[in-house]
Structure 1
Amino acid sequence: MEFLERFTWYPLQDLPFIILVLIIAFAVHEFAHAYSAYKFGDMTAYNEGRVTLNPRVHLDVLGTILILIAGFGWAKPVPVNRNRFKHPRLMGIVVSAVGPLSNLLLAALGILTVYILNQAGWLYAGNPGVAQAVIHFLWYLIFMNLLLFIFNLIPLPPLDGYRIIQDLAPQRVRIKMDQNVQWGMFVFLLIVFIPPLRSVTLDPVLSLSTPIASTLHSLFELVFEPVDWNQFWFEVWR
């Protein structure tokens, strides 16, 4: 067990929760891209069977393995032909943005579920094993979807943030960006796998998940009873 944990970013006992959350998060993320492109008039993703929530067509083997061993990864990119959109640049931005926004929505739904269960008195009630499993699942649903939301907005290929910047840029800049995509991927991998680079680039950006979560907590507390988050964290990490 200790030997295997050297090769995983997350605790081995939490892998079932993480894998389930990743399946949901990746499937919803890529479906959001594919469905929005389809609604805007591009049939490319539809013809390849990507307008579906079936995770089998969205998961990328290497990207899934990397998120388990390095903390970051990706699903299969959805093919999009922006030239088929009525307004290619504007609709291209929307198609790129809905993927990360779908992860933010999943995180918000996870937090909302915590509040509803807490208000109903079910969060820590009943079978302790079942309750802790539910809490672990909700924790990873919130945590990993917030990370995916922020991570995918980073303006490096192959991430959605890069495509958004590309659609916002003038034509001559977009051409140069296309020419240097392969170098962007190289820089991206260096940042992910070299700890000193990661500590001054990715980690500060991903720390934004804390204030985003705090904002969502505050919004839900306007409607529901406050949640004892210290108790929630205790149940996750005990």
Structure 2
Amino acid sequence: MNWAGLIDLLLSVAAILLCLTVHETCHGLAAWALGDPTAKRLHRLSLNPLRHIDPFGALMMLVAGFGWAKPVPVDPRYFRNPKSGMAVTALAGPLSNLLMAYLALLLRAVLLAFYRPGAVVLEGAVGFCETLAVLNVGLGLFNLIPFPPLDGSKVLGAFLPDR
């Protein structure tokens, strides 16, 4: 049995769950901060991955490098300005991913300062930080594409006329 491959798979799954969970939670937190209680009422302001993960979407991300989570429900009628509220809410997910990527690379740099040859756990932690950074950058940038249902389409919508 290839234990290293199994450990890599488990670390990838953990990174995917973390990326998607934080992304979706930040959508809900942004909407809540702007006055929409929908996500809070549905218990989606949680870092529990079970509240956010679409099983098929997570499997596709693992297998095909492309997947999705359950979208956090948002009701723009609660926002003072629905267009800008939706744009801010949509931006919260990708921005959280880019921030997590930065933090993962920062942690990687700290871990490498303590690196000694043969430190297996440290090597695994460095690898996890690298995987986390790559997945977060990919997810954040991909979601900024202005094509529905991606977040970028809602951001672009704030700059387009109502018609």
* TM-score after normalising by structure 1: 0.63
Of 70, 81, 84, 1:90 maps to 84
Q: Which has the higher contact order (CA 8 A, sep 6+)?
A: 2
What is residue 169 of structure 1 aligned with on the other side?
A: 160
Give the 5 Å matches for 1:96-115. 96-115=90-109
List per-residue Cα deviations over 1:105-164 (Å, max 9, x = no partner).
10000111122223xx31x22752212211210110111101011111112222111221
* Count of residues in correspondence between the two structures: 161
- AA at the equivalent of 2:77: N
Is 1:72 the equivalent of 2:66? Answer: yes
Q: CA separation in 1, counterparts of 2:127 and 2:40?
A: 35
List per-residue Cα deviations over 1:166-204 (Å, max 9, x = no partner).
2322222xxxxxxxxxxxxxxxxxxxxxxxxxxxxxxxx
Q: CA separation in 1, counterparts of 2:75 and 2:86?
A: 9
* TM-score after normalising by structure 2: 0.91
Q: Alignment RMSD, CA only?
A: 1.9
Q: CA separation in 2, counterparts of 1:77 and 1:52?
A: 13
Q: Which has the larger radius of gyration?
A: 1
Shift of 1:89: 1.3
Alignment check: 8 A CA contact 2:111 2:126 kept:
no
- AA at the equivalent of 1:129: V
State the identity %. 40
Is 1:35 the equivalent of 2:46? Answer: no
List per-residue Cα deviations over 1:57-114 (Å, max 9, x = no partner).
0111111011112111111101111111012111211110010000001000011112
